[in-house]
Chains A and B, each alone.
Chain A
Amino acid sequence: MARMKFLCDAERCIECNGCVTACKNEHEVPWGVNRRRVVTLNDGLPGEKSISVACMHCSDAPCMAVCPVDCFYKTSEGVVLHDKDLCIGCGYCFYACPFGAPQFPQDGAFGMRGKMDKCTFCAGGPEADNSVAEFKKYGRNRLAEGKLPACAEMCSTKALLGGDSDVIADIYRNRVLKRGKGSEVWGWGTAYGKPEKGATPPAGAKS
């Protein structure tokens, strides 16, 4: 089984925010929720670099580890998903996540955050694949349709790669060899540096 990962090539990203727009449009994400964002380092200075970042679907996901209701699960392809029916909106995943991926529809007083929303690697949630309920809660399930994440597919410079880690790592390696620079695979150490954990859905989780 393929292990799905994201890889952003900082030598190519031009900060067009096409991935952000593609994501918002594909999943009809509510206002204020940003599953993906582009961060620019040294904006306007020599050596400016941009990175598109979303949930990296970590090997040993901190969100999964700290969730008090254990609402996260991992698909056999390594995609970290969560069950919004179980989520209580405590915000712990947001404290733990290194990438700032978990989003909440509100930031209300008395901890009224609403249910957490994050990048699903376009793999939906525990509901039946491509059902109305799944779309309403998690957005489109492109993986079930045999497609890769919309953000990476839409990327104009192919800076953002999403898919089987062996394939995208190969593409990246060839690029580095050809251009002779920019070998930093940003975020991979943090996201995939630890042994895989929780690769099977927990007992009782739907799907």
Chain B
Amino acid sequence: MQVGMRQWLCAGLAALALVMTSPAFSADKTSAQEQAASQQSQPGNNAPVWRDVRGGDNAYQTTQVRGVESSVLVQPEGETWRQVRNNLVTIYGGWVLVAIIAIIGGFYYWKGPMKLHEKPTGRQLLRFGSWDRMVHWGGAISFILLSVTGMITLFGKHILLPIVGYTLFSWLATVSKYIHNFVGPVFAVCVVLMFVTFVKDNFPKAHDLKWLTKFGGLISGEHVASDRFNAGEKVWFWLGVTLMGLLVSVTGFILNFPNFEQGRELMQIANVVHAVSSVLFLIMGLSHIYLGTVGVEGAYDAMRTGYVDETWAKEHHEYWYRDALAQQKSGGGATNPATASAMKEGWK
């Protein structure tokens, strides 16, 4: 009887040992085993236990407190995140933005706004329909709101806080956080809509290379023909709106919804990717805003009213101009000069 019991016990222990040596347990078992072994040779040496502390992925590391990663004792990634965010992202990111603003300002001072060479014809062409403009301005306004509030969060402590003081800056940061967190998802939707709306005219073509090598005649003043969107705008579309838009949106959602109890490491990576891609997005965005407002005469009106003068179309987007004229002749174009100018007046 007693022998039978012992046999069962042995079988049970063997089964337990099998379970313990299965891959799920093996990693944890070693430290416990090492500890047990070291207790024999060196009773005072707890090194194997402490080795596991930093990782915190030990299945036998427990706590009664419920919370995100509450059984982790030390997460060393936090210090890495701090160094990357406070030094690389804040300092380099900040100076890169200062530099791009200085470059754009210098360019404006050097070249001034790009004006039309010939006189406007007075005939208007429809460049952006109401849907195009709605999507563009939805994205643009949310982009500006997110840029300003994001920069307050990242740089405000170093630039605004010493000027406006703790209390006022805290209010500003609170408002910024709410705006950023609630406008963020709106922007993500706008990114998708912008992609769907404008992708058809943004596929790269052979003549885009010519535009890029001549930098669109931005410096030489030379005329380079282009489609509805020139190569610069296509770069902005693919690298800016699409790639950076996707990166900031995905990482933004990770940061914006802590209710899904994602771990700190994911949030730290998301934060750094979010900040770096935001800075790159802003570099391109500032260039786009410059060329779309003071940099190119008539560009802002094109997106505000939807219409451009034929001269503008010819000088800036010649291929598109020809297509639009051809379409107009075949009777498909919505370019009645009377309604166009009336609409333009209506906007003013």
What is the interface of chain A, defined by CB distance below 8 A to chain B? Answer: 10, 17, 20, 34, 37-47, 49, 51, 53, 62, 65-71, 83, 85-92, 94-100, 103, 107-113, 180-184, 186-187, 190, 202, 204-205
Asked if A42 and B32 make an inter-chain contact with CB atoms under 8 angstroms apart, the answer reads yes
Asked if B166 and A43 make an inter-chain contact with CB atoms under 8 angstroms apart, the answer reads no
A-B contact pairs, 5 of them (CB 8 A): A17-B64, A42-B52, A62-B78, A86-B166, A96-B78
* With A10-B46, A183-B44 already in contact, 12 other A-B pairs whose C-beta atoms are closer than 8 Å: A34-B65, A37-B63, A38-B63, A40-B63, A41-B52, A42-B60, A62-B78, A87-B170, A88-B170, A97-B75, A98-B75, A110-B257
Cβ of A104 to closest chain B Cβ, rounded Å: 8
Asked if B74 and A190 make an inter-chain contact with CB atoms under 8 angstroms apart, the answer reads yes
Asked if B74 and A187 make an inter-chain contact with CB atoms under 8 angstroms apart, the answer reads yes
Asked if B86 and A34 make an inter-chain contact with CB atoms under 8 angstroms apart, the answer reads no
Chain B interface residue number, banded: 35 or more
Cβ of A126 to closest chain B Cβ, rounded Å: 10
Cβ of B63 to closest chain A Cβ, rounded Å: 5
Q: How far is the CA of A107 from the CA of B40 in the complex (A)?
A: 46
Q: How far is the CA of A181 from the CA of B264 in the complex (A)?
A: 34
Cβ of A101 to closest chain B Cβ, rounded Å: 11
- Closest Cβ neighbor of A94 among chain B residues: B264
Asked if B46 and A86 make an inter-chain contact with CB atoms under 8 angstroms apart, the answer reads no
Q: How far is the CA of A87 from the CA of B44 in the complex (A)?
A: 45
Contacts A49-B49, A90-B177, A98-B79 hold; do A85 and B170 have CB atoms under 8 A apart? yes
Interchain residue pairs A-B with the least CB separation, the first 3: A181-B44, A47-B35, A37-B65
Any chain A CB within 8 A of the CB of B341?
A: no
Contacts A109-B257, A181-B44 hold; do A43 and B60 have CB atoms under 8 A apart? yes
Any chain A CB within 8 A of the CB of B26?
A: no
Cβ of B73 to closest chain A Cβ, rounded Å: 5
Contacts A38-B64, A62-B78 hold; do A46 and B35 have CB atoms under 8 A apart? yes
Asked if A113 and B81 make an inter-chain contact with CB atoms under 8 angstroms apart, the answer reads no
Any chain A CB within 8 A of the CB of B198?
A: no
Q: How far is the CA of A71 from the CA of B48 in the complex (A)?
A: 39
Count, A-B residue pairs, CB within 8 A: 176
Asked if B166 and A205 make an inter-chain contact with CB atoms under 8 angstroms apart, the answer reads yes
Any chain A CB within 8 A of the CB of B71?
A: yes
- Closest Cβ neighbor of A103 among chain B residues: B67
- Closest Cβ neighbor of A97 among chain B residues: B78
Q: How far is the CA of A114 from the CA of B57 in the complex (A)?
A: 29
Q: Which residues of B contact A17 (CB under 8 A)?
A: 64
Asked if A68 and B63 make an inter-chain contact with CB atoms under 8 angstroms apart, the answer reads no
Asked if A95 and B177 make an inter-chain contact with CB atoms under 8 angstroms apart, the answer reads no
Binds A, one of B127-135, B152-160, B205-213, B294-302: B152-160
Q: Which residues of B contact A10 (CB under 8 A)?
A: 46
Q: Specify which of A62, A110, A112 is in contact with B79 (CB 8 Å cutoff).
A: A62
Cβ of A68 to closest chain B Cβ, rounded Å: 5
Any chain A CB within 8 A of the CB of B330?
A: no
Asked if A45 and B64 make an inter-chain contact with CB atoms under 8 angstroms apart, the answer reads no
Most buried by A among B71, B257, B258: B258
Contacts A70-B161, A94-B264 hold; do A186 and B50 have CB atoms under 8 A apart? yes
Q: How far is the CA of A181 from the CA of B44 in the complex (A)?
A: 4
